[in-house]
C-alpha cells in the first residue's frame, strides 16, 4: 500500500517535499526547518501526503534574497509574518525595490589602456581608490579595471580630453554624487510618505500590492526626467550668471603687471630729464 502511494502522481501544480527540494536546491531537512521557524507555510495535505506549490517556491526564493541582503532568519520571519500580500506579490515587490535603477553593462579596461584614456603615463592608485569610493570604477583581482558606469566614465574621459585633469574630473564627480544622493533621497522619501505609509496603515491589502509596485516602477523614470529638467534649468541659470560676470570683468580696464610698473617709472623719469 505504501509502495503504491509513493508511485501516485502529485496533483497538477503540486509537488512532494522531495520534488520541492530538487526544484529549489534545498535539502528536505532544511525545508522542514524553515517550516518549524515559520518561514514556510505548511503543505496542503491530501490523504497522508503533503504537497507544495509555486507559493512555497516563491517563499524560499524570497528568503534567500533577504538572506543575501544581510537579514537573519528571525528577521525574515518577522517580515514575512507582517506582510498581508501573497508570497508571489512580496517577491515581485522586493525584486522591484532592489532592481537597478537603470542597467548599464560594465566595461573592462587594461590598466595601461585606462591610463592612455586619462592621458597619464600610469594610473595613480589614489585616483583609482577615489573612483572606487564613488562607485565609478572597480579594480579586479587580475589587475584590470571595471568601469561600473560606462556612461559616467565616458563623460569623465571627455572632460580629460578637453584638458581637465583626472583629479579635477573625479572631484566634480564627487560633488555630483553628493547632490544626486540628495535628489534620490527626496524621491525615496516621497514614495515612502505618500504611497508606502498609507498602504501600510491600511493593513497592506493584498489587492493593492500590484498598485504599490506599479507606483514604484513609474516613479523611476519620473525621477530621472524631473532631475534632468531641473538640472537644465539650473545649468542655464548658472551659465547665464557666469556669462554676465565674464562680460563685467572684460569691461574693466586691464590691470598693469607689477613687473611693468618699475619699467614705466624709469621711462617716465628719463622723459623728465
The answer for 25, left when phi > 0, alpha when psi is -120 to 50, beta otherwise, is: left
Q: Facing residues of 45 across strands? A: 50
Q: Which fold has domain 10-98?
A: Multidrug-efflux Transporter Regulator; Chain: A; Domain 2 (1.10.1660)
Q: What is the largest CA-CA distance in the chain?
A: 133
Q: Would the pTM of this model clear 0.85, i.e. be above it?
A: no
The residue to which cell 554624487 is assigned: 177
Lateral strand order in the sheet of 107-109: 107-109, 145-147, 137-139
What would the grid cell of residue 158 be? 571627455
Dist. CA 141–CA 218, nearest whole Å: 38
Question: What totals of helices (H) and strands (E) does the chain contain, helices first?
Answer: 13, 5
**DSSP SS3 for 83:** coil
What would the grid cell of residue 30 be? 532544511
pLDDT digit string (tens) for the chain, length 273 residues: 444 444 567 777 789 999 999 999 999 999 999 999 988 989 999 888 899 999 899 889 888 888 877 778 888 888 777 664 455 566 677 777 777 666 778 999 999 999 999 999 998 999 999 999 988 899 999 989 999 989 999 999 999 999 999 999 999 999 999 998 998 899 899 999 999 999 989 988 878 888 888 898 888 888 889 988 998 999 899 888 888 888 778 877 766 655 545 544 444 545 555
- What is the pLDDT, as a whole number, of residue 52? 95
Domain ranges for the chain, please list them.
10-98, 107-247
- What is the pLDDT, as a whole number, of residue 3? 47
- What is the pLDDT, as a whole number, of residue 161? 94
- What is the pLDDT, as a whole number, of residue 255? 66
The answer for 13, left when phi > 0, alpha when psi is -120 to 50, beta otherwise, is: left
In sign, the C-alpha dihedral spanning 135, 191, 68, 101 is negative
- What is the pLDDT, as a whole number, of residue 164? 95
CB 90 within 8 A of CB 83: yes
Dist. CA 132–CA 154, nearest whole Å: 16
Amino acid at each position: 500500500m505504501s509502495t503504491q502511494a509513493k508511485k501516485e502522481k502529485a496533483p497538477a501544480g503540486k509537488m512532494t517535499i522531495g520534488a520541492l527540494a530538487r526544484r529549489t536546491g534545498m535539502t528536505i531537512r532544511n525545508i522542514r526547518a524553515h517550516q518549524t521557524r515559520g518561514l514556510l507555510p505548511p503543505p496542503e495535505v491530501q490523504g497522508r501526503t503533503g504537497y507544495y506549490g509555486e507559493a512555497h517556491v516563491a517563499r524560499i526564493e524570497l528568503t534567500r534574497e533577504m538572506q543575501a541582503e544581510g537579514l537573519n532568519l528571525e528577521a525574515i520571519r518577522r517580515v514575512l509574518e507582517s506582510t498581508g500580500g501573497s508570497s508571489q506579490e512580496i517577491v515581485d515587490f522586493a525584486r522591484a525595490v532592489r532592481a537597478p535603477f537603470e542597467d548599464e553593462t560594465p566595461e573592462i579596461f587594461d590598466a595601461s589602456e585606462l591610463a592612455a584614456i586619462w592621458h597619464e603615463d600610469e594610473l595613480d592608485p589614489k585616483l583609482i581608490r577615489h573612483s572606487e569610493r564613488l562607485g565609478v570604477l572597480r579594480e579586479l583581482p587580475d589587475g584590470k579595471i571595471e568601469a561600473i558606469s560606462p556612461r559616467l566614465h565616458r563623460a569623465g574621459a571627455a572632460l580629460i580630453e578637453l584638458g581637465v585633469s583626472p583629479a579635477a574630473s573625479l572631484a566634480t564627480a564627487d560633488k555630483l554624487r553628493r547632490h544626486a544622493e540628495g535628489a534620490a533621497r527626496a524621491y525615496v522619501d516621497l514614495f515612502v510618505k505618500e504611497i508606502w505609509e498609507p498602504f501600510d496603515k491600511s493593513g497592506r491589502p493584498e489587492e493593492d500590492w500590484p498598485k504599490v509596485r506599479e507606483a514604484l516602477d513609474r516613479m523611476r523614470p519620473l525621477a530621472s526626467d524631473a532631475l534632468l529638467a531641473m538640472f537644465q534649468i539650473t545649468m542655464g541659470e548658472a551659465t547665464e550668471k557666469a556669462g554676465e560676470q565674464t562680460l563685467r570683468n572684460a569691461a574693466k580696464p586691464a590691470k598693469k603687471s607689477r613687473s611693468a610698473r618699475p619699467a614705466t617709472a624709469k621711462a617716465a623719469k628719463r622723459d623728465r630729464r
